[in-house]
Structure 1
Amino acid sequence: MDRPLDIAFHNLPPSADIEALIRQHVDKLAARHSELIACRVSVEALHQQHQTGNVPEVHVTLSVPGRDLAVSREPQKAKERYARPDIRTSVRDAFKAAERQLEAHKGKQRQDTSKPGASAVAGQIALIEPGQDHGFLLTNTGTQLYFHRDSVTDGDFASLRQGDLVHYVEEEGSAGPTATKVRVAAAKSS
């Protein structure tokens, strides 16, 4: 995978075998989903969880344009479904769930773009943070809305200036509403 990948082990020693397994799963996701920008995987052993058989918990965070998709596979789920769950079971289940989330996200994007302009709203650029990969736009209700550079669907993020007119789709992000599918409004000729 030529995208950034961060693998962390908490409360257990790093394992080259598990790291290789994680890389295989990430490569498979990246091959199927070109919009995958980065991936963070955390494998965590919970302290003496006798009910779960000390099966590690696996967290996968997938970065796609405009948002992060988070997946957790808790050990009790593996214990309920499998006779002898282990770390490989948790990793496999976490990546199956990650695949489902990516598919759902991709389907939602397709659905949004299949109705051009149906939910797009007009706004204008309020602030571009110097040296940052995000900015804020002013909505038609007078509030500011965060957007990431990857949300700009046409044009170049670096060329955006305060006051530029845009159209965007508002979606609920992990930290509140965000602007996605930001596109520069066509300049009016006089």
Structure 2
Amino acid sequence: MQIPLQISFEHIKPVDYIAIRVRDEAKKLEQFYDRITSARIVIGRPQHRHRHGDCYSIRLLITVPGANDIAVSREPSVTGRHEDINVTISDAFAAARRQLQDLTRKRQA
């Protein structure tokens, strides 16, 4: 990446293991597609539920030269699946990888 990875936290204190996990996933994504210019990741906890655990959201904005930005959002209001931050991170980066695969196929055609 030409611009260093930017990780932000909303409504949650920065947590080292989350940042490390996001950096690892970003490295895997960059190994898959090495033309990524920049990536911004925002991790949030939009609501605090005392009885059922916390839900996490993640937003990715990835810039690739010569193409539209790749935007991925995983919000807990859409699916009830994101109570575990690791699941949220995995889902978001898998979606970004699929979008990069689509971009690669379009460029090869």
- Please, what TM-score do these two structures have when normalized by structure 1? 0.51
| Deviation of 1:39 (Å) | 0.7
**What's 2:71 paired with?**
70
User: 1:48 & 1:16 partners in 2: Cα distance?
Assistant: 20
Q: Structure 2: which 5+ runs fail to align?
A: none
Percent identical among aligned pairs is: 32
The answer to whether the 8 Å contact 1:33/1:102 transfers is yes
> Which residue of the other structure, out of 63, 87, 92, is the alignment partner of 2:85?
87
**What's 2:27 paired with?**
27
User: 1:90 & 1:3 partners in 2: Cα distance?
Assistant: 24
SS state of the match for residue 79, structure 1? coil
For CA contacts below 8 A with separation 6 or more, give which structure has more relative contact order: 2
- C-alpha offsets along residues 13-55 of structure 1, whole Å, 9 cap, x if unaligned? 00110000000000001011011111110001103368x8431
Structure with the higher fraction of residues in helix conformation: 2
Question: Counterparts in 2 of 1:1-190, with a 5 A limit?
Answer: 3-48=3-48, 53-66=53-66, 67-80=68-81, 85-111=83-109
User: 2:80 & 2:98 partners in 1: Cα distance?
Assistant: 21
| Deviation of 1:76 (Å) | 4.0
Q: Specify whether residues 49 and 110 from structure 1 end up closer, same or farther in structure 2 by C-alpha distance, changes over 3 A only.
A: farther
Aligned letter for 1:25?
Answer: E
- C-alpha offsets along residues 88-124 of structure 1, whole Å, 9 cap, x if unaligned? 111111001111111111111212xxxxxxxxxxxxx
Q: Specify whether residues 71 and 49 from structure 1 end up closer, same or farther in structure 2 by C-alpha distance, changes over 3 A only.
A: farther
The answer to whether the 8 Å contact 1:78/1:89 transfers is no
The answer to whether the 8 Å contact 2:42/2:59 transfers is yes
- RMSD (Å) for aligned C-alpha atoms: 2.2
Structure with the higher fraction of residues in strand conformation: 1
The answer to whether the 8 Å contact 1:55/1:90 transfers is no
Q: Specify whether residues 87 and 44 from structure 1 end up closer, same or farther in structure 2 by C-alpha distance, changes over 3 A only.
A: same
User: 1:46 & 1:93 partners in 2: Cα distance?
Assistant: 18
Q: Structure 1: which 5+ runs fail to align?
A: 112-190
Runs (4 or more) in structure 1 with deviation over 4 Å come to none
SS state of the match for residue 14, structure 2? coil
- The number of equivalent residue pairs is 107
